[in-house]
Amino acid sequence: MTTSAETQSCVVVTGASTGLGAASARELARRGFHVLAGVRRDQDADAIRAPGVEPVILDVTKPEHIADLAARIAEWPGALRALVNNAAISVTAPFETLPLDEWRRTFEVNLFGQIAVTQALLPALLRHSGRVVNISSIGGKVALATCGPYSGTKFALEAVSDALRREVAPLGMHVVVVEPGAVRTAIGGRAIAETDRLAAAMSPEQQERYGPLLQATNANTAANMANGRSADQAAQVIAKAVTAGKPRTRYTIGWDAALFTRLARLLPDRLLDRITAARISGS
């Protein structure tokens, strides 16, 4: 792939401050792309900046940030090859206990933010026969107890991706979904801290009802982060989704994602309930 400014292809990666997004930005730059890496803070920009990686301040819930990104794409002399929608937050809490504003915040970041960025960049992607790569999750196929907020956004992202793929396929554009299982990134630690914060705000009755479940959930998250794939390994799959000549509509990352996406299709709900409960409890 040539790397002259006149012809070099550009890829946008949102949520590139750390973890999977940062690893994907580095891997795509290594493969010869110019990567616009969306970060939320100046210190994150300093950390990710490297040859082929240009940090851009991007909070996907802020229209002005998205407008600035679209303007940067408009002035780029090469093609926009792909948009990797990776920005997300993990919110884990029992359905009853999570304030509605927290539900809305999760959807704003994990779903509406992705839609807003995609809408802004879609004209450029269509001009260059680019593609959208949406980072979903195993949680977009199977919703574990306490994962309603996060899984709700990922189930919705899966549906939105299907609809968009069917709309733009006749126009020569691909839409790909990547479904990671456990990956060793900072999001796990942040999820545990967020769960603890939300648990502290529960009423005594709610803590009695759900306290043991949340403890088991946090233990399961910690175990997954310890045993999951590295971010660099996961980034290889995302890079494949960006570069494959004929990409699949979906890629899984890790044995757990591959297994549970199949179980979700094959098993009755009650049996899947028992399996997911055992997964959280570790039994």
Helix axes 100-107, 148-168, angle to 10 degrees: 30
The C-alpha atoms of residue 69 and residue 38 are separated, in whole angstroms, by 9
φ and ψ of 172, to 5 deg? 85, 20
Q: List the end-to-end C-alpha distance of the chain, in Å, as a whole number.
A: 50
Q: Which two tokens stand for residue 16?
A: 């590139």
Query: Smallest Cα–Cα separation from 134: which of 174, 78, 187, 99?
Result: 174
Q: Specify whether 150 is catalytic.
A: yes
> Considering 45, 111, 150, 174, which one is annotated as catalytic?
150
Q: Point out the residues that are catalytic.
A: 150
